[in-house]
Structure 1
């Protein structure tokens, strides 16, 4: 008779511990999965600016995949105004590296990336195989220097924008962007 409370307690404790372990090891729900960003080689030929960093997202939240390309353009910004308007984003954000055929979807937004003010703008992009992608051009500045990014993927432009800004907001990327804009 005295053993049954001990057996019941041990059984309950093991059940709770195994349930907690299973909960911690379970896959997150679809809306809680993190993007899986992987750095890839800079895919573009050399031009007047240094190569930057390129990433591809293949996580569940990325849908069919998103790519982003980020690089500094030192000494290329209006020192007084920074990135002042959408036309400047159109001109500097490296969209032309992806395709010459891009069309703005709407007016851009004021943003801040790594404590640098600037703008982002959504585009409809027609890539070389004729497929349509959503693209986001991002240009932010510090003093007379720019940091530009362009992200593209199939599907919704706002999702591409959200995913790109999420990557750019990560601590490692913020540190790299600040160092790159300082020329280090």
Structure 2
């Protein structure tokens, strides 16, 4: 097998901000070709969760997404904070966004958001046995409406392309397969 790895000759940061960092790299391909301006977005890793309540309702969140310019139906989730395990992040995000705590949480998948231009991964979990224990504790700039749907409704939303976030749709597919609802 040929080595397809690129060599990074130099990097220069153009933007360093809490939610996104943009750098431009100069790279050399294995055949010697130099790519002078390759832009890379550095984002923190994320988690998302297919969250099932104790009566098997799926917790979805609806929120406005400014870049898309519309409200989007998604899975609960968010950024993994420094020093936090991916499972801790999933549990924290669930509690903050939904007010639910879960008996079990199981890792499903790890996917790149866009490995051509972004460094981050999304880690997806299936949480079961959820019970409402508190009110939402949202970050500044978050407005989230909780929607409960059945597993059959989730399957229908996924198959009809009604979840607005590609990585959430992927996670939902993994969960539906794990639960025996898709083959």
Larger relative CO (CA 8 A, sep 6+): 1 or 2? 2
| TM-score clears 0.5 | no
- Which protein has the larger Cα radius of gyration, Structure 1 or Structure 2? 1
TM-score normalised to the size of structure 1?
0.29
| Structure with a larger share of its residues in strand | 2
